[in-house]
Structure 1
């Protein structure tokens, strides 16, 4: 229904534009899809963003009913949109990850931002990307990527800190200190609302930090971006305090100087050539 109404809104906009052109009148504004979705949403006491989510789920189900049709059924059964849409994004990310493989190479500095499974209140409050079990994260080939003397920056949330520390020995690293990212707004949380996230700094061998680390704080108020995106300031810190070459596993977006340690096979072959 939303797609049909959106098509009608867009057709009406085209007619208004044509009418304005014929009479020589100036057309001040042609509403875009987002404005049309807001108007449609008001008919159903919803926001345009909610209408867009419903359309995303329905379009995915039409393209791949075996995989995504149950999400439409869930929306119809529960009357809720956020949970099924979050599942849609997570399932799409799982499909993407299935085509990734670890790259070869050794690095003096490694950054890991594992997609931790967490104890969330609801599906809607869960992650919109694929997560991994502790066993899967423990199997990441960190030891093979690390040079004999290397630094590791391991991201962990408040409720995964204990298990994150437990990974260090298997990875071949020793804990040295903890960096904390303090955020201005309340985040999600089951017992308390999270406003912090942490980076475990660990060392393999005897490699010290660079001179900049001697004046570097362990708490940082870097700005917050999109869900799970790490701040540019963190990467500036790593470049200033540790040594290249830099490798990053579970990279959310390309970063200058940081090799993406999981890539599609075609990209792995190109890098090898």
Structure 2
């Protein structure tokens, strides 16, 4: 998850060499259309403790800033959105889906977090019960269709660097929607073959893939 809002520096002037290294496309200036949008927004929490922990690692964005991103213009007529969120931000995630022109359908993936060693399940402290899982929601625009009916919702994967999601999620999306589908990752931190990406931290975590 890398913040990449229009007001958070993503449109700052860069040399051609810098642009090539850090960003595949500029979502504010492109004619490209995608079958799949994959997003891990840098949610800003109302909880000061949670928000402070996030902002120590990356720039966060307000709900309105995320909703105002020009995602509608990036979508093919039939398009699928895969949107990471957390349980405290479920309501906001649904608002973002609607603002971007999508209709909520299901939980695409449920990340069961393992300890960094890979041995045993991780458990956070939580405000109520001790949390573990994190959902990636699925929403659609138009009438897209899956290419495989054997993709599991569950992802068991160790914790990575702060907020980093399991890289196998991209593989599962490609399996579900087809290798030929045109995919865009928003708020990306990695350059991934077969994916266009956008964000102010693109390439920051390439060494961990």
TM-score, structure 2 normalization:
0.72
What is the root-mean-square deviation of aligned Cα atoms in Å?
2.5
Superposed CA offset, 1:195-252 (max 9, x none) = 11111111111111112xx122222212221111111210110111114210011002
Higher relative contact order (CA 8 A, sep 6+): 2
Tell me which residue corresponds to 2:49: 121
How far, CA to CA, are the matches of 2:172 and 2:143 in structure 1? 20
Q: 2:71 aligns with which of 121, 128, 142?
A: 142
Tell me which residue corresponds to 1:236: 171
Tell me which residue corresponds to 2:33: 106
Contact residue 152 and residue 202 of structure 1 kept, 8 A: yes
Structure 1 gap ranges (5+): 1-89, 265-273
How far, CA to CA, are the matches of 1:216 and 1:123 in structure 2? 33
1:246 aligns with 2:183: yes
Per the alignment, do residues 124 and 139 of structure 1 end up closer, same or farther by CA in structure 2, a change over 3 Å counting? closer
Paired residues for 1:14-29 under 5 Å: none
Q: 1:132 aligns with which of 53, 61, 73?
A: 61
* Count of aligned pairs between the two proteins: 170
For the pair shown, the structure with the greater C-alpha radius of gyration is: 1
TM-score, structure 1 normalization:
0.56
CA apart distance, 1:148: 0.4
CA apart distance, 1:157: 0.9
Structure 2 gap ranges (5+): 13-22, 114-120, 202-209
Tell me which residue corresponds to 2:162: 227
